[in-house]
Amino acid sequence: MKNKIIGFVLAIALIVPSLSFAQTTSYVGVPDSILQQLINLLIQEIQNLEQQLLALNGTNSTTTGIAITTTTATTTATITANGSAGSITVAYNAPVEIKWSSTNASSCSVSPLKISGLFGTSGNINVTNSQTYTVLCNGINEASSSVFVNVLPAESQKVVDETADWKTYYNEKYGFELKYPNNFKIVSEGTGDYLNEQGACSIIYEVTFADPNKPKRFWEAGGEPIQSTIDLRVQEADCSSIFDRKAYSDKFPYPQPVLKVANDLLNSGFPKDKIYEGAFLSGVSWDGSGNVSYGCENINLVKNDSNFAVVKKSKCMNGPVYPETDASILPLSGNFIFDLFDAASDYQQDGSFDQILSTFKLIK
């Protein structure tokens, strides 16, 4: 009997060292309560054997010298933003590093980054709105961790109005005003001989501005160089709508770029009778057979609001020398139309043409 008991104890001695390792390793699918019951039964059996051994030796004790500690493995998940857990505050559109880690996990996902698997453990993003980032991992159990990134409001972008301190040209008679750079000079204003010519949408008033720093240009062979200018012209609003010259247009059709802009304006709800033909003639020419050609590289509807529309034509070869730029201003009401004209596109090239155009206002 003694030999049998000693042999059993030796066998148990070989098994017991492995229990610590076994119990720190996950037995997936076996509940912890069942494992504990088995261990308790084994401990009880060992204690019984120990009592029998002690009885054989003539002693009596209820104390065992064997202690078994069990540890249950779990799945964990951790997430941080810029190295901090919980929450952080950052500036608008600031870079944020999101990092996450896990233990005993078979898979993880990070929302709202739409990252999953076990390969990626960090991500760098630029944030524009406050957001909670969460890592969710599965394994022995489900584990999650979250971090909140608070994003400060974007600083308002200050738009600098470069025309704010410009000079203002005001004309009450024809009901308009515009601004021009402080170094510009008014070369002339009023009516000239050619302004009194009769005809549809005839020019009845003109004010001419010039930048003294612009180089002078030759406009004709043998002539003297003349300063480049930019002109604001006032025209009588007495010419036909581009859509009312059907017979004329059938014989001498308009180029497709012109018709597209005119139709875009009409389809926007702009009054048909205010889409004057005179606003579209720049760059258009016909030969005696009715063949049409168009000398402008660009024609665009650049403005259309509750007061007026603007049709801009650029790089127009109406003459043999320099490309022209002009913008026709079509008011929704009133007896006049307006045209900003750059004979050599010098002011278009340096940006002042568009800036002056942007300051144009109707005052009655």
Quote the Cα angle for 334-279-345, to 5°: 120
Give the chain's length.
Answer: 364
Peptide bond into 215 cis (omega under 30): no
- CB count within 10 Å of CB 125 equals 15
Q: Could you tell me which CATH number the domain at 167-362 has?
A: 3.40.1000
Q: What is the distance between the alpha carbons of residues 57 and 60, in angstroms, rounded to a whole number?
A: 9
At 303 the pLDDT is 92
Give the up-direction half-sphere exposure of residue 1: CA atoms within 13 A in the CB hemisphere. 7
Query: Amino acid identity of 258?
Result: V
Percent of the chain, pLDDT > 90?
A: 30
How far apart CA 309 and CA 320 sit, in angstroms, is: 30
pLDDT at res. 310: 96
Inter-axis angle of helices 32-56 and 2-23, nearest 10: 150
HSE-CB for 42 with a 13 A CA cutoff: 17
User: For residue 363, what pLDDT is reported?
Assistant: 92
Q: Are the beta carbons of 169 and 179 closer than 8 angstroms?
A: yes
List the chain pLDDT tens, one digit each, 364 residues: 555 555 554 455 544 444 433 443 444 455 556 666 677 777 777 777 777 777 776 655 555 555 555 567 898 989 998 888 878 898 888 888 888 888 888 888 888 876 655 556 666 777 788 888 888 899 889 988 888 898 888 764 456 788 899 999 999 999 999 999 999 999 999 876 555 555 567 889 999 999 999 988 887 777 788 889 999 999 998 888 888 865 455 566 778 888 899 999 999 999 999 999 888 877 777 666 667 777 788 999 999 988 999 999 998 887 667 889 999 999 999 999 999 999 889 999 999 999 999 999 999 7
pLDDT, residue 92, reads 83
The reported pLDDT for the residue numbered 120 is 62
The full set of domain ranges for the chain reads 76-151, 167-362
User: How would DSSP label each residue in 13-78?
Assistant: HHHHHHHHHHHTS--TTS-HHHHHHHHHHHHHHHHHHHHHHHHHTT------S----------EEE
CATH architecture for residues 76-151: Sandwich (2.60)
